A = this chain, B = another copy of it.
Amino acid sequence: MGYNNWVSQSIMNRRGSAAGKTGKMHTLTEEQQAEFHFTIGPYSKPVLSVAPGDRIVIDTRDAFSGRIKTEADKPSEKIRLPFANPQNGPIMIEGAEPGDALAVHIEDMVPRGEQPRGTCALIPEFGALTGTYYTATLNQPLPEIVRKVLVDETTVHWSDKVKLPYKPHIGTLSCSPEIDSISSLTPDNHGGNMDLPDMGPGTVTYLPVRVPGARLFIGDAHACQGDGEVCGVAVEHASTTTIRVDLVKRWTIEWPRLEAEDFIMAIGSTRPLEDATRIAYRELIRWMVADYGYEQFDAYMMLSQCGRVRLGNFVDPKYTVGAGILKKYLP
C-alpha cells in the first residue's frame, strides 16, 4: 500500500491527537449497524465509539440498500424517497468537540456481496441530462434502465468491450450538523453526498466537527465514477471500507477538505455550479493563507495559473466541486 506511505507526513499525522499512532481495530458490520440512516444529524443513536487513531472496518451498503438485484428491479419501485443512500454510523469520536476537524483516512476499499455487485441506473427525472425535480420540465422522463455490472478488486466490467479500472471512492462522508438533519442525498458544509472521485483509498478527508463526538456517517461506495456523475448514478456497490480516524483539535474549517499524496483540495457544495466552485476556491485560498504563508491575492492570482478543479457531482440536490493545488507549489 505504497499510496499510504505519504500519510506519515500528512496533516492528519502531524497535527492529529494520535500523532500517527494506530489504535484499536473496530468492526461495523451490517448486523452491528442494524438500522442504516438516510438523514445526517444529531438525532440518531450512536452505533460505535472510537478513539483518535483507531481503525474501523465498515460494511457499507450500496445506494439502493441492495434492493436492485437484477436488471428487472426498477429503482422507482424498489426505493421510496427519502430512503436512498443508506449510511453507516453515527460513530462517536472520543474527545471531538465543535471547532475541531475530524480526519478520515480511507485506508482500503474492497467490493463485497454477490455478483453482479455493481449497479448503475437511469432513474426518472434524476441526472444531469434530463429534466428533474428541480429543473422542472414537462418532457417525458427518460426510460428507467438498470445496468448490473461485475465488479472485482481490479476491474469494473462495464460491457463486453469496455473494462474500467476498479477505482473506488466513498460518495458520502459526514460529521453531523449542529441542529439540522440533512438528507443523505445532499452534500453541504458538513460533507454529505459529495461524490468526489478523489475521496478514495490513500486520501485523507477533513470534516468540520459541529457536535460533541463528531457523529461520523459514511456510505455510498462507488466502484468508479466519472467527473460529475452525469447520469446521476455511479457503479454503486456494497463495500468493506477500512478507515482510520484522528482529531485535529481546534482546527476550525468551514467546509470539508481533502489531502492526497501530491495535492490538497478544498470542497464546496451548493447550486449553481459556479457558486460551488467559488466556495472551493475561496476555502483553498484561506487554507493557503492560514497554513502555507500565502498573501491572499497572491494565492488568488497564482491559482488562476495552476489551480485544479474536480467536479464531484452536478446531479444531487446540491453540486460538489473540489479546488486543489499541487503540494510542490506550496513551498
Contact = CB atoms under 8 A, between A and B. Distances in A.
B162 A302 contact: yes
B138 A228 contact: no
Nearest to A308: B227
A202 B164 CA distance: 26
Contacts of A183: 179-180
Interface stretch (A27-35, A52-60, A70-78, A140-148): A140-148
Interface stretch (A17-25, A106-114, A230-238, A245-253): A230-238
A82 interface: yes
Given A43-B43, A130-B137, A145-B297, A227 B282 contact: no
A163 B154 CA distance: 37
A307 B274 contact: no
Please classify how large the interface on chain A is, using the bins under 10, 10 to 19, 20 to 34, 35 or more: 35 or more
A38 interface: yes
Given A227-B307, A278-B128, A311-B309, A139 B139 contact: yes
Contacts of A232: 304
Contacts of A8: none
A28 B305 CA distance: 28
Nearest to A80: B178
Nearest to A138: B129
Closest 10 CB pairs of A and B: A226-B307, A139-B139, A273-B273, A227-B309, A272-B272, A231-B304, A136-B282, A181-B181, A271-B271, A136-B278
Interface of A: 38-39, 41, 43, 82, 120-122, 127-131, 133-143, 145, 147, 156, 158-159, 161-162, 164, 177-183, 224-235, 268, 270-275, 277-279, 281-283, 285, 296-298, 300-309, 311, 314, 319, 323, 329, 331
21 contacts: A39-B180, A41-B180, A82-B180, A129-B137, A129-B281, A129-B300, A138-B142, A139-B140, A139-B141, A140-B140, A156-B305, A162-B331, A179-B181, A226-B304, A228-B277, A228-B304, A228-B309, A231-B301, A233-B304, A271-B271, A272-B274
Contacts of A306: 164, 224, 226
Nearest to A37: B179
A135 to B, nearest CB: 5
A329 B162 contact: yes
A179 B82 contact: yes
Contact of A304 (B131, B234, B307): B234
